[in-house]
Amino acid sequence: DVTFYQVRSDKVSDNIRIVVLADLHLKEFGKDNIRLVEQIDKLTPDIIACVGDMNNLKNDDYSVVTNLCEKLVNIAPVYYALGNNEYEAKLFKDSNITKDLKVVGVHVLDDASEIVDIKDTKLNIGGLSQGPEQFERYGHQFFDKYIEEDYFKLLLVHYPDEFMGILEDYPIDLALCGHAHGGQVRIPFVGGLYATGQGFFPKLVDGFHQIGNSNVIISRGLGSSHIIPRINNKPELCVVDLCWY
């Protein structure tokens, strides 16, 4: 599925298109992900945002991710926030995934931000690495500094449940999330069945949400790491058009 969203802001001077990838979990769409690359190319993004868990913690071979990103950087700048799989691989397995992503030209935002100028609009693109349990100890210092900038704040944060007690009072122009896999099993007319960190019948697993002073878009993601397969839950690319009108 390709799902389109439009976010209006007077901080934006011209239309800016963002394609969002989440939770690939080493899945391939055609040889070397050629179908995925072709689809993204047709969408003509100005920015490609990866919001984590493109790899699998249990698999040390993440070449699917680096090979994909090596192709994507030829389409548009790629900004990458860490999910729990990348973060734990870095901490506990001495993984070089973040270094190897940088080698192929990816902007890895590990509790870091970059101010970029796209179509005469300055975007403050940040990546928050920690989940809700670690935010106060490890993420708070970065985030307090990040939030001070007046430019359009585009936050890549893997965990949507950050907006259930941590981030909802902050003014974030647009947050992009993944992690919840759309609830893994989707029940017609009900929604997702279960999400880690939210439990059964979770609220923040997909779609657009206005939470406090923030706009939040959650991708259902592309792959799966669960024993239970995705049911009624197609892989999803999100396309976000930022516009001033």
What's the pLDDT tens digit per position in 93-134? 999 999 999 999 999 999 999 999 999 999 999 999 999 999
Token pair listed for 220: 């259902």
Give the pLDDT of residue 41.
98
Distance CA 181, CA 218 (A): 9
199: left (phi over 0), alpha (psi -120 to 50) or beta: left
pLDDT digits (tens, 9 = 90+) for 167-203: 998 999 999 999 999 999 999 989 999 998 899 999 9
Residue corresponding to tokens 């935010």: 135
CB 28 within 8 A of CB 56: no
- Residue-averaged pLDDT of the chain: 95
Distances (CA, A) of 95 to 29, 53, 59, 99: 25, 14, 11, 9
Give the pLDDT of residue 50.
98
- Average of per-residue pLDDT across 51-79: 97
User: 226 pLDDT band (50/70/90 cuts)?
Assistant: confident
pLDDT over threshold 90, residue 143: yes
Residue corresponding to tokens 């779609």: 207
Distance CA 238, CA 244 (A): 20
Give the pLDDT of residue 237.
98
- What stretches of the chain show up as alpha helix (H) in DSSP? 34-42, 63-72, 84-92, 97-103, 140-146
Give the pLDDT of residue 23.
97
Give the pLDDT of residue 54.
97
- Average of per-residue pLDDT across 216-234: 93
CB 219 within 8 A of CB 21: yes
CA angle 113, 181, 77 (to 5 degrees): 35
Residue corresponding to tokens 């993420």: 139
User: Quick one: which of 18, 15, 20, 71 has its CA closest to 47?
Assistant: 18
Please tell me the total number of residues recorded for the chain in this structure. 245
